[in-house]
A and B are shown apart, each in its own frame.
Chain A
């Protein structure tokens, strides 16, 4: 089938259910993106290029900590689920969202450091500048960090990582390995 473009009529709404890349108006199904139409099992238009990934509420995102302050850590989101984004998004992990237990004892600087790669979940759209993110689950938190000595650290518990070279322990909120 030939490439469809937005606004192109694909069929009758009575005969086809509208799938992705289409919309319905006045009883007809039209394409809404450029792509190849597929009519089974329902009409949809499949794009040649990949869609840009955007964080959505509940999605797991991965990124790098860019800075920390006593109340939150700023994360530059680069991957949504397992799709790298074409541009960075910015989110913050606030004190109350770092972990599920002993929330009153949380310290940001003993949970994250700039440069750490962290996996988090999108809680909400947040404010004008930042998505609000949470690492309050076992599988969320620091997945990769470099010690002060420059080596890749290995997690020893949910709150500690060790530098293999110097054997020094540093504090992080670690993600549970798979």
Chain B
């Protein structure tokens, strides 16, 4: 810690058991967080104020195109949370109800290597929820990625883009990071030219090494997640420790025009109009910041 930590004993009772800061954080995490917030600072050093618009996200870094075995890739670091999105393209029959479309299949993986809280086995509820929310985003806002451009031959063949997002280190707020990653990776996608041969009923790719086709991406969604601690503290871009103490979260997804593309609120808490307006303002400002980076 490079700032003064509230050093004290257990809660308000006269203490008999003096604890140092790391032990106190472990045994009384809620009180630990409360004391930081009372001093208008968060445990990782970011400033805290009831006015949401002053809230800060952690340092965000985006790196594109590092995985050559993928058709498009992006690594995003949001503070210590790190996710890597790799897009693989395969050919398949198009959907029956929209034969001139292709597919985008997002999937989020939270492997045990990224956090001591994730155990090996089937995808956790959190991972499944994240995948579902990404799917919903693209389904409800089809202008983000027009699936028609993925069609190779109407009714016969289309590209399927598998967007696999692997979390490499978990420190809270994976969702915001995954949205940045998938958008940056989609912009990085390079597909080869593919033609459908009716006689053979198959798709041929004349030259695998040539990748001239780029995707047209519409409005770029950016997500802002806010954790709610004890129904009164709104923590923008919560860390893992903060997330574990928040009873509820609010996620806003905005586009360039300042329109709300998605709002996800979990847990019971009431937002008044002012807080709602401030959240939207924060989300829009964040959107501008991020779009400059992708």
Contacts and interface: CB of A to CB of B under 8 A. Distances in A.
Nearest to B11: A152
Contacts of A48: none
A117 B27 contact: yes
B20 A82 contact: yes
Given A86-B116, A87-B116, A178-B17, A79 B10 contact: no
Interface in B13-33: 13-14, 16-17, 20, 22-23, 25-28
Interface residues of B, number: 15
A153 B28 CA distance: 15
Contacts of A133: none
A79 B13 contact: no
A144 interface: yes
B10 A78 contact: no
Contact of B17 (A78, A84, A144, A153): A144
A78 B19 CA distance: 13
Interface of B is mostly: loop
Given A86-B116, A177-B16, A178-B17, A144 B11 contact: yes
A127 to B, nearest CB: 19
A143 B11 CA distance: 12
Contacts of B273: none
A84 B26 contact: yes
B12 interface: yes
A164 B14 CA distance: 12
A146 to B, nearest CB: 8
19 contacts: A62-B27, A78-B26, A79-B23, A79-B27, A82-B20, A85-B26, A86-B116, A87-B116, A117-B27, A117-B28, A143-B10, A144-B13, A152-B10, A152-B11, A152-B13, A154-B13, A154-B14, A177-B16, A177-B17
Give 9 closest A-B pairs by Cβ, nearest first. A177-B16, A152-B13, A84-B26, A87-B116, A78-B26, A152-B11, A144-B10, A84-B22, A143-B17
